[in-house]
Amino acid sequence: MVARPDEGSDMTHEPVILVGVDGSTASTMAVDWALAEARQLGWRVHIVCVYSLPTFSGATLDGGYLAIDDKQIRVGAERVVADAAARAEGSGVVVTTAVEPGDSTGVLLELSKQAGLIVIGKEGGTPFADRILGAVSTSLAPRAHCCTVIVPVHGETRPLRLPVRRIVVGVDGSASAKRALKRAIQEAELWGAELSAVAAVPVAQGAGAMSWLPGNVDRDELLADVREGLNVAVDQALGESTLQVRRHALDGSAAALLTEFSTAVDLLVVGTRGRGGFAGLLLGSTSQTVIAHSDCPVMVVPAKLDEEGEFPTRFPWQR
């Protein structure tokens, strides 16, 4: 189990993947994705269901008040956790579980101080869904102390794209994007996947275009400058790694392009400032667009993540 750190204590990330579940199809898929990732890493999976206690009592016919027994709520949460843990049978992954009362975002944020990765599903479907996970996918990721993977379900359930074979990372030259790029490289090495780094600049006329640019700016020249910056960022992030990274400098909206790529790849990786929006590449509502419409899981690398000690253990090939 991931222990809650004492107030003011130094954060020590452990080799464990934290999965928030609520009994929905989305959270079930999140468990499956986490198990696959854990097998690659040799990590443990910790499944958590957070439930809220009622803030009011029900009125009786005689004008009195009927206290709501929270034991029934807890029993339901325990059943959700047990069903999720059962999916790990035969996987070879060590699984621990917990049921926690409180605010789901707050509890998962606290646990993220010691987890190596968080995985949650996006979209509910049970009586627990709104109360337990709800908008956690958008509120947790920018504030977490470790990377968060959001596994989406849109309409009819589709099988997870596993193993991960194609990864796309958004790059815009910001510090947060550089952290995301490094994490994407590690993920590509972990899975033996193809990695593409994408830098998007909306140059052409139309919605989202960079209207502040002088009218005589040469589009091809600007994209060449962006491509040069992308090459520098990728080469610096690679360091001694021999991974081959495809580089694409494109004219267009970052959110629209990443969403389009999500239909053909297995994982998107983006960085965030930690204030609710993504830096440079993904500003304001664009972050919500990517999470809401991505066809594949999205890994969000938070700004507060220290580059040193980012992961609790070295990856298997580095041991």
In a domain, 3, yes or no: no
Query: How far is Cα 319 from Cα 316, in angstroms, rounded to an integer?
Result: 5
Mean pLDDT of 62-86: 79
Q: Comparing 83 with 1, which gets the higher pLDDT?
A: 83
110 plus 146 within the same structural domain: yes
308 plus 191 within the same structural domain: yes
142 plus 180 within the same structural domain: no
| Structural tokens at position 233 | 């960022």
Query: How far is Cα 127 from Cα 24, in angstroms, rounded to an integer?
Result: 9
220 plus 137 within the same structural domain: no
Domain boundary among the residues 121, 152, 183 is at 152
Q: What percent of the chain has pLDDT over 70?
A: 71
- The H or E element spanning position 81 is helix 70-86
Q: What percent of the chain has pLDDT over 90?
A: 43
Q: Are 37 and 117 in contact (CB under 8 A)?
A: yes
Give the dihedral of Cα atoms 183, 184, 185, 186; nearest 10 deg.
50
What are the pLDDT digits (tens) for 7-63? 444 456 789 999 999 988 889 999 999 999 999 999 999 999 998 766 555 555 555
Max mean pLDDT among 53-57, 133-137, 152-156, 169-173 falls in: 169-173
Q: Comparing 200 with 135, which gets the higher pLDDT?
A: 200
Cβ neighbours for 154, distance < 8 A, ≥ 6 positions apart: 123, 293, 295
171 plus 313 within the same structural domain: yes
Q: Are 94 and 2 in contact (CB under 8 A)?
A: no
Q: Which domain holds residue 220?
A: 166-318
Query: How far is Cα 98 from Cα 92, in angstroms, rounded to an integer?
Result: 20
144 plus 191 within the same structural domain: no
Query: How far is Cα 80 from Cα 246, in angstroms, rounded to an integer?
Result: 41
